[in-house]
Structure 1
């Protein structure tokens, strides 16, 4: 299994089930993985246990990646 698939599998296995939700677990995971990188991470708390994570790299303008871990059950999304 390559590193990207392994990381995605680990993220999916985090218990962020809603309710009550806990997207902070995913933000913590990504922050830990990126700890020794040259990425700029900016975490914004939305409410208890809910955060967005902005990840930037390079010298360019704009947002490179914005991670928002809001999971909606498939049946609820229909």
Structure 2
């Protein structure tokens, strides 16, 4: 992996991390609202969104591990 490719991958990881953090922030606000309203249907949506966030997190982790492994020669 060239340095340019590594920089490009790292920027992509940063972008994904920012996107994921905004998803988590929105989910927290939404979950507090649902807890206050005791809305069962909305709580199911919160749960589905949480599963989606978890999947995004695992994918980001996979990308990070791959990038670390591929960039070992730069360390």
TM-score computed with the length of structure 1 as normaliser: 0.28
Q: Which has the higher helix share?
A: 2
Q: Per residue, is there more strand in 1 or in 2?
A: 1
Q: Which has the higher contact order (CA 8 A, sep 6+)?
A: 2
Q: Which has the larger radius of gyration?
A: 2
